[in-house]
Chain A
Amino acid sequence: MAQNTLLHTNALVKRFGGLVAIDSLDLDVKERTIHSIIGPNGAGKTTVFNCIMNFFPITSGEIRLSGERLNDLTPDRVATRGIGRTYQNIRLFRNMSALENIMVGMHIHLKSSWWGAVLRTRRTLADEKAGQDEAVRLLQYVGLRGKGDILARNLPYGDQRRLEIARALAMKPKLLLLDEPTAGMNPSESQDMVTFIRGLRDELGITILLIEHHMPVVMGMSDIVTVLDHGVKISEGTPDHVKRDKKVIEAYLGTGVAHT
Chain B
Amino acid sequence: MAILEINDIHVYYGNIRALHGISFSVEKGQIVTLIGANGAGKTTTLNAISGILAPRQGSVRVFDQDLARIMPHELVPQGVVQVPEGRRIFSRLTVDENLSMGAFTRKDKVAIAKDRERVLEMFPRLRERLTQIAGTLSGGEQQMLAMGRAIMSDPKILLLDEPSMGLAPILVDQVFESIQDIRKQGVTILLVEQNAYVALQIADYGYVLESGQIALKGPAKELIKNEEIRKAYLG
When distances are taken between beta carbons in the complex, the residues of chain A under 8 Å from B166 are 41, 88, 180, 183, 213
Stretch at the interface among B63-71, B114-122, B132-140, B212-220: B132-140
Let me know if A260 and B39 touch, CB within 8 A.
no
When distances are taken between beta carbons in the complex, the residues of chain B under 8 Å from A141 are none
Q: A103 CB to closest chain B CB, in angstroms?
A: 25
- B172 on the A face (CB < 8 A): yes
Indicate which residue in A40, A158, A191 contacts B38 across the interface (CB closer than 8 Å). Answer: A158
- A251 on the B face (CB < 8 A): yes
When distances are taken between beta carbons in the complex, the residues of chain A under 8 Å from B194 are 184-186, 189
Identify which of B36, B137, B169, B235 gathers the most chain A CB atoms within 10 Å of its CB.
B169
When distances are taken between beta carbons in the complex, the residues of chain B under 8 Å from A232 are none
- B186 on the A face (CB < 8 A): no
Q: A149 CB to closest chain B CB, in angstroms?
A: 16
- B232 on the A face (CB < 8 A): yes
When distances are taken between beta carbons in the complex, the residues of chain B under 8 Å from A185 are 38, 194
Complexed CA–CA distance, A157 and B44 (Å): 13
Let me know if B38 and A156 touch, CB within 8 A.
yes
When distances are taken between beta carbons in the complex, the residues of chain B under 8 Å from A190 are 235
Let me know if A186 and B196 touch, CB within 8 A.
yes
- A253 on the B face (CB < 8 A): yes
Which residue on A lies nearest to B125, using beta carbons? Answer: A42
Complexed CA–CA distance, A42 and B142 (Å): 10
When distances are taken between beta carbons in the complex, the residues of chain A under 8 Å from B176 are 258
Complexed CA–CA distance, A216 and B169 (Å): 11
- B3 on the A face (CB < 8 A): no
Let me know if B85 and A253 touch, CB within 8 A.
no
Residues facing B in A37-73 (CB within 8 A) are: 38-43, 45-46
- A113 on the B face (CB < 8 A): no
When distances are taken between beta carbons in the complex, the residues of chain A under 8 Å from B195 are 186-187, 258
- B167 on the A face (CB < 8 A): yes
Q: Provided the pairs A184-B85, A187-B233 are in contact, do residues A41 and B39 lie with their beta carbons within 8 angstroms?
A: no
Complexed CA–CA distance, A260 and B201 (Å): 13
Residues facing A in B49-74 (CB within 8 A) are: none
Complexed CA–CA distance, A183 and B137 (Å): 17
Which residue on B lies nearest to A186, using beta carbons? Answer: B194
Let me know if B233 and A254 touch, CB within 8 A.
no
Q: B13 CB to closest chain A CB, in angstroms?
A: 9
When distances are taken between beta carbons in the complex, the residues of chain A under 8 Å from B172 are 213, 256, 258
Residues facing B in A147-199 (CB within 8 A) are: 156-158, 180, 183-191
The list of the 5 closest CB pairs from A to B, nearest first, reads: A187-B235, A41-B140, A254-B170, A256-B173, A258-B172
